[in-house]
């Protein structure tokens, strides 16, 4: 392609050599799509529906005009149709359902393997962020929800409205769900929680942290998971409060510290000097047992403290000269690194930079999500400049596209973390 030439997202996905006309035939009007959708329900058959939302469609319209924003949506719609044509044998229809929302109906029952392939394919589409239809790059942020219909007792409009409501509750990422139910909540008893710690049901997953200049992996963040014998894999947001309620938070914290330190020691023995970051419950710093646990793990496992980073959430209150503040100072003196996580989400960001013994600032994912807007770009660049002027390393969290990685690096972020570089995995290290 020559200099100055542009390509649409649709054209960029044409590597499967399918006839363009074939993919376009599967893109129908919203009226025809809805009619096909109603026929699927009337026939009492099983099918899958995917809703894709261009979450920054209003920003695109404001910066490029409404007509151009609709062309962007149409381009993404065609790209999705073209990609589906290469991987889905079942009949499907695609339409721009309303402004910035793409709707897909796929006939038949899709197995786990099919859903996984679709998820991967949608991720590939979403990681092509620039639509150069108008002579300049346009960053497209997408959010999708995958739902399946298997004779649910819902009208067509109830089904769509439920899916749209669930879509609005999700962050900017690709999320696959098998039904319209909300995330379950569980009542865990004391014995269950103890078994989680004592019977090997807990596990640390690791998400890579990369150097944006070279894309080299330089560290990992340790993230807790629970393989519950009845409920399966559970994320910490579901069970952490139960550990706190039963006063087992110290036991859990001890398990996390020892497990993360052990993994760090394994890396060092293998000649890998990557850091391991641990989310530290700030309230536990008020108890001297936390520092004792860290010291004991440090002595027992012979870990290099410079390769361990403790992340504290910015929204947690840490007053100057408080017990928590002094505990962080002690950790710093022991050689550990301290990072402020989710920077920008609380009200303490500037004051924390003044007195906490911080080495690293991890920008909340909202900066990446909004960096393509005028205000978002200005706020992001200011936040990075402020942190760097204090001598801190800046990490961009929530990077989901190459464009976001490039922009954050150009603004001064040294490190990046997000699904673009890798999702949390149990065998990362």
pLDDT, tens digit (0-9, with 9 covering 90-100), for 339-389: 999 887 665 567 788 889 999 999 988 888 888 888 888 889 999 999 999
Q: What span, in angstroms and rounded, lies between the C-alpha atoms of 412 and 275?
A: 21
Gap between the Cα atoms of 140 and 379, Å rounded: 19
Q: What is the per-residue pLDDT for 214?
A: 96
Going by DSSP bridges, is the β-strand pair 142-149/216-228 parallel, antiparallel, or unpaired?
unpaired
Task: Give the C-alpha separation, 308 to 90, whole Å.
Answer: 50
Task: Give the phi and the psi of residue 217 in degrees, each rounded to 5.
Answer: -70, 125
Closest of 231, 221, 224 to residue 249, by C-alpha: 224
**Sorting pLDDT into bands at 50, 70 and 90, what band is 101?**
confident
Structural domains present in the chain: 9-176 (3.30.70.270), 190-416 (3.20.20.450)
DSSP structure class, residue 179: S
Q: Which pTM was predicted? A: 0.59
Task: Please tell me the distance from the alpha carbon of residue 42 to that of residue 242, in angstroms, as a whole number.
Answer: 44
The pLDDT, as a whole number, for residue 419 is: 87
Q: What is the pLDDT of residue 118?
A: 66
247's tokens: 């006063």
What tokens were used for 374? 């005028």
Distance from C-alpha of 409 to C-alpha of 192, rounded to nearest angstrom: 45
Between 248 and 376, name the one with better pLDDT. 248
pLDDT band at 314 (very low <50, low <70, confident <90, very high): low
| Cβ atoms < 10 Å from Cβ of 32 | 12
- CA–CA gap between residue 20 and residue 40 (Å, rounded): 26
C-alpha distance from residue 108 to each of 41, 90, 151, 154 (Å): 12, 7, 12, 18
**How many other CB atoms sit within 10 Å of the CB of residue 28?**
19
Instruction: Look at residue 366 in the predicted model and tell me its pLDDT.
Output: 80
- Spatial neighbors of 391 by CB under 8 A, at least 6 apart, are none
Q: How many residues does the chain have?
A: 429
The radius of gyration of the chain from alpha carbons, rounded to an integer in Å, stands at 24
- pLDDT value of position 104: 84
Per residue in 266-290, pLDDT tens? Answer: 999 999 999 999 999 888 898 889 9
Class of residue 210 by CB neighbours under 10 A (exposed 0-12, middle 13-18, buried 19+): buried
Query: What is the Cα–Cα distance from 360 to 415, expressed in whole angstroms?
Result: 10
Q: What is the distance between the alpha carbons of residues 167 and 161, in angstroms, rounded to a whole number?
A: 10
Output the average pLDDT for the chain: 77
């Amino acid at each position: 392609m020559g200099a100055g030439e542009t390509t649409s997202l649709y054209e960029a996905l044409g590597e499967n050599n399918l006839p363009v006309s074939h993919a376009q035939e599967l893109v129908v009007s919203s009226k025809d799509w809805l009619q096909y959708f109603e026929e699927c329900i009337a026939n009492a058959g099983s099918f899958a529906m995917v809703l894709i939302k261009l979450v920054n469609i209003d920003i695109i319209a404001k910066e490029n005009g409404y007509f151009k924003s609709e062309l962007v949506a149409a381009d993404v719609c065609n790209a999705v149709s073209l990609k589906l044509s290469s991987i889905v044998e079942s009949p499907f229809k695609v339409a721009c359902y309303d402004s910035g929302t793409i709707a897909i109906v796929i006939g038949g029952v899709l197995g786990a393997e099919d859903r996984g392939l679709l998820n991967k394919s949608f991720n590939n589409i979403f990681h092509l962020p620039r639509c150069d239809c108008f002579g300049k790059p346009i960053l497209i942020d997408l959010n999708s929800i995958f739902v399946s219909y298997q004779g649910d007792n819902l009208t067509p409009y109830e089904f769509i409205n439920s899916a749209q409501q669930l879509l609005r509750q999700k962050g900017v990422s690709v999320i696959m769900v098998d039904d319209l139910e909300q995330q379950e909540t569980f009542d865990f008893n004391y014995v269950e929680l103890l078994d989680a710690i004592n019977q090997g049901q807990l596990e640390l997953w690791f998400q890579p942290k990369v150097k944006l200049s070279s894309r080299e992996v330089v560290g990992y963040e340790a993230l807790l998971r629970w393989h519950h014998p009845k409920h399966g894999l559970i994320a910490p947001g579901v069970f952490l409060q139960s550990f706190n309620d039963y006063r087992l938070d110290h036991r859990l914290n001890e398990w996390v510290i020892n497990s993360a330190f052990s993994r760090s020691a394994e890396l060092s023995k293998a000649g890998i000097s990557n850091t391991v970051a641990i989310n530290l419950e700030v309230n536990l710093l008020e108890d001297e047992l936390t520092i004792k646990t860290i010291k004991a793990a440090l002595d027992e496992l012979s870990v290099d403290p410079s390769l361990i980073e403790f992340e504290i959430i910015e929204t947690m209150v840490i007053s100057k000269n408080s017990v928590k503040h002094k505990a962080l100072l002690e950790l710093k003196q022991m050689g550990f690194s301290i990072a402020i996580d989710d920077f920008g989400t609380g009200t303490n960001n500037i004051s924390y930079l003044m007195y906490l013994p911080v080495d690293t600032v991890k920008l909340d994912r909202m900066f990446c999500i909004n960096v393509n807007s005028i205000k978002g770009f200005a706020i992001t660049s200011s936040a990075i400049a402020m942190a760097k002027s204090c001598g801190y390393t800046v990490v961009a969290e929530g990077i989901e596209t190459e464009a976001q990685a490039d922009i954050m690096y150009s603004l001064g972020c040294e490190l990046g973390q997000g699904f673009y570089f890798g999702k949390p995995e149990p065998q990362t290290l």
